[in-house]
Every structure is written in C-alpha cells, then in structure tokens.
Chain A
C-alpha cells in the first residue's frame, strides 16, 4: 500500500455524508486505487460506512468495483473482531497483520515454478543462462554450463499461493502500533517442475556426426558427402547436454573441427592420415625424439588439411612438456586444447603407444568378424610399428575374447555403439554374452556410472554374481529379451 502515490483529494464529500458519525481528521488518505484512480481512505473504525458512501456517490458502480474496494479496505476493527471471535488475544500476536487478497490480476498460467538445486541456483544468480534443449520429440532437458538435468512435472494436491513480499514472523517486530498490510496472491499453483541430474544424452551426437563423415577435401563434393554438417551451435540445439559435456563428447568421438563444422573422420581416411604420419616419423626418426608438430604439418600439408593433421597428431600423441614452460602456460595449453584452438607455437608430440596399438587392432578387427585369437595376436604384432608393444589392455572396450571355444576367438565389439539407457545396455550385453567377468564388463558400463553409483553398485542392481571355476562372473538378473 505504501507505494501508492499520495493524492491530495478533499474528503469533504465523504465528511459531509457521514456528518456526525466521525471526524474528518479520522480519515487517512492511503493513495490512489489502482483500478479506477479514486482515492482510497482508511478509516480506522469500519469500512461499511465508506462503502455506503461510495455507493451513493455512484463511485461503486457494480459488484466488481465493490469487491475491489472491499478488498482494499480492511480496517483494524474488522481484523480485531475476527481475532476476538477466534479467541486470540491481541497481545499474543504481532502488531503487524497481513491481510491476504487474491490479486485483481490473478494469473495462474503465466508463472511456472521450477525447483532448483544449489548448482543451478548459483548459475542463475550469477546471471548465466540455463537452456532447455532438444528436438520436439525429446523429453525436456535443462542444461547449465556443465551439467544436464531431466525436467519432470510434479502435481501436488496442495495449493501454493505465490505472494511477493510476504513477511514472515522473524521480519516483524513485537512492538509498535497495530497495522494492517495488504498482501496480494499473484497466482495459485498446483504443480511445479523438478530437476533430476542425468547423464548427458550424447549418443545422438554420434549419429548426427556420422551423417556426413569427412574423408578428405577432394571427396567433399561426392554424392556420399552431401549429408548434413553441423556447427557447434547446431549441435548445442540438437544434443541434450551442456556445452562442456558436448565438448568432452566431441573429444571422445575424436571429432575434428573442419571449416567451421564438427566432423568425425572416416575410418579409412583416418588410417591414411595416420599411416602418412607414421611413415614420416620413421623416416625422420621422430618416434624417439618426438614429433615437431609444425614440421610434420608443413610436410604433409599438400595431402591433407592442416586442421586434420593437427587433430590426428593430437588424438594419437601426447604433447611433450617442454622444460622451460611453467605450469600456468601448460594450463593455458590445456584450455586451448579443450576449445580446440591450436596454438601455432611449435609443440612436440610423442605418439601414444596404447592409442596407436589400439588403432591397429581396430584396423585388423573392424571388418573381420570372429578372428582366431592366436592368429590375431600375430597379425597385430606385425602391423604396429616395430618400436611399439601390443598388450591386451589396449583392447578394452573394443573387442571381446572368447576363451571357452576352441580355438579361442576374438571379435570387434566397440563400446560406443551400445544403448545409452542402463537397462537396455545390460540387456544388450547379456544378449551378446551370457557371463562376464568384472574386467570384461567394466569398460562397457563405466560410462554409466554416476557419483552415487559406481561399477560395483551398477552390477549389484542389474546383474547376479556367481563363481565359475573360482572366478567371479556376472549374468543377467532378468530374462534377456
């Protein structure tokens, strides 16, 4: 009420009408009525006389207007009468009384309540945007900079009355004159939206990027390369994950930023590039000294785009920390790496043995179907550069070995192609193989883990453990469908 402009309007008319019943000074102008611009007076004794007066003066024309005025007039006398009926003592309650009214512009539709946790609240309060992402057919997902949440609607039978500037007991003092405040309910809600932290739904990213794989500049105009290409902004709108999560996923998919679009490299093309790089390494004996990125790119620039070369070296090599760099500079390089802004400054890379060996294993197994395990080991040994050593842990999450059949076989089983949903994932895995050891299954489910649920907890929930020849194995809890 206090914010209403004071209006110096003579209350002569009213005083005349009520002559004898009260003194003019007793009327306190409160301000202008928001609806009709008429000055509102507070008269401490009762509202009814005022109402009657307004009626006679033709100010209260219809029921709505009367309601409206009634709403704005709630005298202390009325309040105290009710208090007395309620057998409450005036001295037991605080002097400030808040009379609750529905706002004349009561609107239940335009507001939505969203339950937020600390981290979302922080990003809202710090002025950042949170985004609801996804295609029309996806369920709604809310993303902050680095986290993803499912949005679920919750209905409750309780009524939630939204009242701005409502005072609670602590805000009000125990002393002072009795005073009535008008508070208004702006809307009544019966539902709100909950947020549940969820795994980023990045599987779609892979299928989007695979619509048009990159296999060299010269084949860009081929019929097979006319599929949709995506910029980072496009991906943000289509993939239900936060910016940072999408960047991580792009990194994991080894996607490359080529001419403004994010692309995955066609496998055959990738092997070409990598072969050229390796040959160059052998010629110059870079395997031991490290690859100078700049020289490498200059030599091969005619064959492949520079961004691709840098990308491949980066994916399959580890940058060597020069002795004279400080930690801060190193951090900056790490940031550049994440944002894929390559620094021109010549950097040295060592090819990563595990990654290279893994790549060659993939090359061998990819189109092979089931492969005799012993034979595979031999072929694999021969394909990798002579300085590198193969090891079975390099195959984790990419290939499965069946040691029970004679002869032992190995086949290509990449973890990227598995369903994203936990239930479906386990179903698919147990359909592929009835029993798994912990080492076998771990790489295929480790991406499903959350803060609350590690691999062990996932297995307890979705699998049954048993002993087979003294080794713990897991099989499905449910019948596999």
Chain B
C-alpha cells in the first residue's frame, strides 16, 4: 500500500482509471522509496503497520439473495478477507518540484 498525504487529482475531471501515476524507485543504500509523479518528486519511508489492515470484499449479491430465499430472514451479508496489508510506503513530506529546463553544460 502507498499512503500519500493529500489526494491525487487530475486537472480535468476525468476518471483516474488506467492513468499513469508515477515511477517508484528505491535507493541503493537505505531502501528509501522515491516516487516521481509528474514533475514532483516525493521521498517517503517504508513502515510496518502497527495494526494490519484486512482488505474486505463484499460477497456477490446473488449469493446473498439465495440465502435470503432459503431462510426467509434478512439477507446475510458476508465479506471475504482478500488480503492482509502489513506494510505501507508513507509519503508525508512536501513534494519537491523538478525543474526540467536547466540548460545542460556542454
């Protein structure tokens, strides 16, 4: 999991799906995660979650309806634990801008 302070937005209100976020690098020495998003560079750190997260997915509704018909009671909803998240990369520092057009020395 990657945690970012703030949220990601696009300039135009277009859906985010399929869009490119950025490149994630790790430094050789200290395994510091570096995330480059557009012309921003973010330094973060890798943390163990104090309490892990369980990722829950609601079971498909068709199942719930069936069981509702079987028992004639309020439908039972169930969630499946799809994954346990134990680590996160936290980027909580202010992003640094990347200045692109510095003329290169020849």
Contact = CB atoms under 8 A, between A and B. Distances in A.
A92 interface: yes
B24 A106 contact: no
Given A158-B4, A159-B6, A163-B2, A188 B26 contact: no
A103 B30 CA distance: 29
Interface in A116-165: 116-117, 121, 124-125, 136, 157-164
Contacts of A100: 2, 20-24, 35
B44 to A, nearest CB: 11
B100 interface: yes
Interface string B76-93: 000101111101110010
B64 interface: no
A93 B53 contact: no
Interface in A63-84: 64, 67-68, 70-71, 74, 79, 82-83
Interface in B11-58: 15-36, 39, 41, 46, 51-58
Contacts of B106: none
A478 interface: no
B18 A102 contact: yes
Contacts of A67: 18-19
B87 A188 contact: no
A94 B28 contact: yes
A407 interface: no
Main secondary structure of the interface of A (DSSP, over half): mixed
B2 A164 contact: no
B8 A168 contact: no
A141 to B, nearest CB: 14
B17 A105 contact: yes
Contact of A85 (B29, B34, B85, B98): B98
A101 interface: yes
A86 interface: yes
Contacts, number: 171
B1 interface: yes
A98 B8 CA distance: 18
Interface residues of B, number: 55
B3 interface: yes
Contacts of B67: none
The interface residues of chain B, by DSSP majority, are classed as: strand
A88 interface: yes
Contacts of A111: 55-57, 82
Interface in A374-426: none
A198 B28 CA distance: 46
B48 to A, nearest CB: 10
Given A82-B36, A101-B19, A161 B31 contact: no
A97 B21 CA distance: 13
Contact of B53 (A96, A97, A114, A166): A114
B5 interface: yes
Contacts of A82: 23, 36, 98
B58 A104 contact: no
Contacts of B53: 113-116, 192
A106 B15 contact: yes
Nearest to B83: A164
A172 interface: yes
A249 interface: no
A194 B72 CA distance: 32
A350 interface: no
27 contacts: A82-B36, A85-B99, A85-B100, A94-B27, A94-B28, A99-B22, A101-B20, A101-B21, A102-B18, A106-B17, A110-B58, A111-B56, A112-B56, A112-B58, A113-B54, A114-B53, A114-B54, A124-B84, A136-B74, A157-B5, A158-B3, A159-B4, A159-B8, A166-B1, A169-B32, A169-B33, A183-B24
Interface of B: 1-8, 15-36, 39, 41, 46, 51-58, 74, 79, 81-85, 87-89, 92, 98-100
Given A100-B22, A164-B83, 4 more contacts: A114-B56, A160-B1, A161-B21, A168-B89
